[in-house]
Amino acid sequence: MKYYWMMYDFDKSVIENYIISTETINDTLPDYSVCCGKYVENWNPDTTLICNNLEETVVPDYLCDVKDWMVVSYQFIDAIRPFEDGAIQYLPIKVDAVQPQMQGKKYYVANVIRVLDVLDYEKSDWFYMSDNKTRALVFGVLKREAIKNNHIFIIKRDLLSDWVIVSETVKDVIEKAKLVGFKFCEMCVI
């Protein structure tokens, strides 16, 4: 089976005018607390994303926000539910949007909490950040035997990276459901 780094599709979002969030209010969490593989205990249900550009018209299923959280629609959750198997904690988030087509849309921060030790450091491309402790991942090579039957996970590492990895099955489900805002980059798996 193939595996992919799942990310927000910035290029297509600009061309097609995806609605994005430019501000987050009522957020009480420290930075990176929902992209490091840890369960969030103290989520503020009043955390709100502000979408205030009337020129943006396309309603995405992956909503870009300034925190770099993976904010997804209920349609995403419904589509991948059979393959998720507890890998994601969904944190409800409010969206205050000026675009009428956003009314009634439900979004959640998808906090991936399944962390797998699958990175082959010798074959991956990475570098040390200025602190000489944290590594930044440029190109990752994954160990197939460590993935097992998991469809969604993040990589255990001492790396500055919140790469969400999904199986080909999940990628196909997202594409078949025509969910908007996702981009996939195939990973090398040995």
For 138-187, what is each residue's pLDDT tens digit?
888 999 999 999 999 998 866 555 789 999 999 999 999 999 999 999 99
Is the pLDDT assigned to residue 136 strictly greater than 90?
no
What are phi and psi for residue 79, nearest 5 degrees?
-70, -40
Measured between alpha carbons, how far is 82 from 23 in angstroms, rounded to an integer? 32
Measured between alpha carbons, how far is 30 from 43 in angstroms, rounded to an integer? 11
Report residue 135's pLDDT band, with 50, 70 and 90 as the boundaries: confident
pLDDT for 99 equals 97
Is the pLDDT assigned to residue 66 strictly greater than 70?
yes
Is the pLDDT assigned to residue 10 strictly greater than 80?
yes
pLDDT for 159 equals 57
Q: Where are the domains of the chain?
A: 3-189
19-55 confidence digits (pLDDT tens): 999 999 999 988 778 878 889 999 999 999 999 999 9
- Give the list of residues 6+ apart from residue 43 with CB closer than 8 angstroms, or none: 29, 91
From the CB of residue 8, how many other CB atoms can be counted at a distance below 10 Å?
20
CB 9 within 8 A of CB 181: yes
pLDDT for 160 equals 53
Distance of CA 45 to the CA centre of its chain: 19
Is the pLDDT assigned to residue 128 strictly greater than 90?
no
pLDDT for 118 equals 94
Measured between alpha carbons, how far is 160 from 134 in angstroms, rounded to an integer? 6
Question: What's the pTM value of the predicted model, to 2 decimals?
Answer: 0.92
pLDDT for 161 equals 59
CB 109 within 8 A of CB 93: yes
